[in-house]
Amino acid sequence: MITKKAEYAVIILTELAAHPLGTTITSKDIAARRSIPVNLVVQLLAVLKEAGWTEGTRGPTGGIRLITDPHKINLRAVIEAVDGPIGITRCLFSSKPCRDQQLCSLRGIWSRAQQEMLKVLEEATIKELAAAAALEC
Protein backbone atom coordinates (compact mmCIF):
# COMPACT_ATOMS: atom_id res chain seq x y z
CA MET A 1 0.00 0.00 0.00
CA ILE A 2 1.22 3.50 -0.81
CA THR A 3 1.39 5.55 2.38
CA LYS A 4 0.18 9.07 3.02
CA LYS A 5 3.83 10.06 3.53
CA ALA A 6 4.62 8.99 -0.03
CA GLU A 7 1.62 10.96 -1.30
CA TYR A 8 2.87 14.01 0.60
CA ALA A 9 6.34 13.57 -0.94
CA VAL A 10 4.77 13.63 -4.40
CA ILE A 11 2.78 16.73 -3.45
CA ILE A 12 5.91 18.48 -2.14
CA LEU A 13 7.81 17.75 -5.35
CA THR A 14 4.82 18.88 -7.40
CA GLU A 15 4.75 22.15 -5.48
CA LEU A 16 8.47 22.69 -6.11
CA ALA A 17 8.04 21.80 -9.80
CA ALA A 18 5.29 24.39 -10.16
CA HIS A 19 8.00 27.05 -9.90
CA PRO A 20 10.94 27.65 -12.25
CA LEU A 21 13.82 25.22 -11.64
CA GLY A 22 16.07 26.61 -8.93
CA THR A 23 13.40 28.75 -7.24
CA THR A 24 13.56 28.40 -3.45
CA ILE A 25 10.48 27.94 -1.27
CA THR A 26 10.43 27.60 2.49
CA SER A 27 9.18 24.43 4.11
CA LYS A 28 6.63 26.58 5.98
CA ASP A 29 5.28 27.90 2.68
CA ILE A 30 5.00 24.39 1.25
CA ALA A 31 3.23 23.23 4.41
CA ALA A 32 0.79 26.13 4.33
CA ARG A 33 0.07 25.94 0.59
CA ARG A 34 -0.47 22.17 0.60
CA SER A 35 -1.97 21.68 4.09
CA ILE A 36 0.78 19.34 5.26
CA PRO A 37 2.15 19.51 8.81
CA VAL A 38 5.43 21.46 8.67
CA ASN A 39 7.34 18.83 10.66
CA LEU A 40 6.31 16.21 8.10
CA VAL A 41 7.41 18.49 5.24
CA VAL A 42 10.83 18.84 6.89
CA GLN A 43 11.07 15.07 7.41
CA LEU A 44 10.16 14.32 3.79
CA LEU A 45 12.48 16.99 2.42
CA ALA A 46 15.36 15.08 4.03
CA VAL A 47 14.33 11.98 2.05
CA LEU A 48 13.97 13.99 -1.17
CA LYS A 49 17.39 15.55 -0.62
CA GLU A 50 18.93 12.12 -0.04
CA ALA A 51 17.41 10.98 -3.33
CA GLY A 52 19.22 13.88 -5.03
CA TRP A 53 16.12 15.78 -6.14
CA THR A 54 16.23 18.79 -3.82
CA GLU A 55 18.65 20.91 -1.85
CA GLY A 56 18.21 23.46 0.85
CA THR A 57 19.91 26.68 1.80
CA ARG A 58 19.83 28.23 5.25
CA GLY A 59 19.39 31.80 6.25
CA PRO A 60 16.88 34.58 5.76
CA THR A 61 16.75 34.08 1.99
CA GLY A 62 17.04 30.30 2.22
CA GLY A 63 14.61 27.61 1.31
CA ILE A 64 14.26 24.41 -0.62
CA ARG A 65 14.68 24.07 -4.35
CA LEU A 66 14.30 21.36 -6.92
CA ILE A 67 17.68 20.52 -8.48
CA THR A 68 16.54 17.75 -10.81
CA ASP A 69 14.50 18.22 -13.96
CA PRO A 70 10.96 17.21 -12.89
CA HIS A 71 10.59 15.31 -16.18
CA LYS A 72 13.21 12.91 -14.80
CA ILE A 73 11.41 12.20 -11.53
CA ASN A 74 8.71 9.55 -11.81
CA LEU A 75 6.13 8.58 -9.22
CA ARG A 76 7.54 5.10 -8.71
CA ALA A 77 10.91 6.53 -7.71
CA VAL A 78 9.34 8.97 -5.26
CA ILE A 79 7.08 6.38 -3.66
CA GLU A 80 9.92 3.88 -3.34
CA ALA A 81 12.21 6.54 -1.85
CA VAL A 82 9.69 7.00 0.96
CA ASP A 83 8.00 3.59 1.31
CA GLY A 84 10.43 1.10 -0.21
CA PRO A 85 9.35 -1.38 -2.88
CA ILE A 86 5.74 -1.06 -4.02
CA GLY A 87 3.71 -4.21 -3.85
CA ILE A 88 0.16 -4.99 -4.74
CA THR A 89 0.31 -7.97 -2.39
CA ARG A 90 2.82 -9.45 0.05
CA CYS A 91 2.99 -12.77 -1.73
CA LEU A 92 4.95 -11.24 -4.61
CA PHE A 93 7.70 -10.10 -2.20
CA SER A 94 7.77 -12.96 0.23
CA SER A 95 11.22 -14.41 0.80
CA LYS A 96 9.57 -17.68 1.76
CA PRO A 97 7.72 -19.52 -0.97
CA CYS A 98 3.98 -19.57 -0.47
CA ARG A 99 2.76 -23.00 0.56
CA ASP A 100 -0.10 -22.60 -1.91
CA GLN A 101 2.05 -21.28 -4.76
CA GLN A 102 1.50 -24.32 -6.98
CA LEU A 103 -2.28 -24.15 -6.56
CA CYS A 104 -2.72 -20.38 -6.41
CA SER A 105 -4.59 -18.97 -9.38
CA LEU A 106 -4.15 -15.40 -8.12
CA ARG A 107 -0.35 -15.16 -8.27
CA GLY A 108 -0.25 -14.68 -12.05
CA ILE A 109 -2.97 -12.04 -11.92
CA TRP A 110 -1.23 -10.23 -9.04
CA SER A 111 2.03 -10.32 -10.96
CA ARG A 112 0.46 -8.85 -14.12
CA ALA A 113 -1.38 -6.19 -12.11
CA GLN A 114 1.86 -5.35 -10.28
CA GLN A 115 3.74 -4.87 -13.55
CA GLU A 116 1.01 -2.66 -15.02
CA MET A 117 0.82 -0.55 -11.87
CA LEU A 118 4.60 -0.06 -11.83
CA LYS A 119 4.54 0.87 -15.52
CA VAL A 120 1.92 3.57 -14.90
CA LEU A 121 3.88 4.96 -11.94
CA GLU A 122 7.11 4.98 -13.97
CA GLU A 123 5.48 6.84 -16.86
CA ALA A 124 3.91 9.54 -14.66
CA THR A 125 6.34 12.36 -13.87
CA ILE A 126 6.38 15.16 -11.36
CA LYS A 127 6.41 17.64 -14.26
CA GLU A 128 3.15 16.18 -15.61
CA LEU A 129 1.51 16.47 -12.19
CA ALA A 130 2.70 20.07 -11.78
CA ALA A 131 1.35 20.96 -15.25
CA ALA A 132 -2.00 19.32 -14.47
CA ALA A 133 -2.21 21.18 -11.15
CA ALA A 134 -1.51 24.48 -12.94
CA LEU A 135 -4.43 23.84 -15.27
CA GLU A 136 -6.75 23.26 -12.31
CA CYS A 137 -5.93 26.63 -10.75
- Identify whether 59 is part of a domain: yes
| 24-45 tens-digit pLDDT | 999 999 999 999 999 999 999 9
Write the CATH number for 11. Answer: 1.10.10.10
Instruction: Tell me which DSSP letter residue 99 carries.
Output: T
- Identify whether 108 is part of a domain: no
- Identify whether 13 is part of a domain: yes
Report whether 6 contacts 82 (CB < 8 A): yes
Report whether 76 contacts 118 (CB < 8 A): yes
- Identify whether 57 is part of a domain: yes
**Model's pTM, two decimal places?**
0.87
| 118-133 tens-digit pLDDT | 999 999 999 999 998 7
- Identify whether 27 is part of a domain: yes
| 49-72 tens-digit pLDDT | 999 999 999 888 889 999 999 999
Residues paired with 74 in a beta bridge? 125
Domain span holding position 27: 4-85+125-136
Domain total for the chain?
Answer: 1
Compute how many other C-beta atoms are within 10 angstroms of the C-beta atom of residue 27: 21
Q: What SS3 state is found at 31?
A: helix
- Identify whether 91 is part of a domain: no
> What percentage of the chain reaches a pLDDT higher than 70?
88
Section 91-106 average pLDDT: 64
Report whether 15 contacts 34 (CB < 8 A): yes
Strand ranges, E, within 12-135: 54-57, 63-66
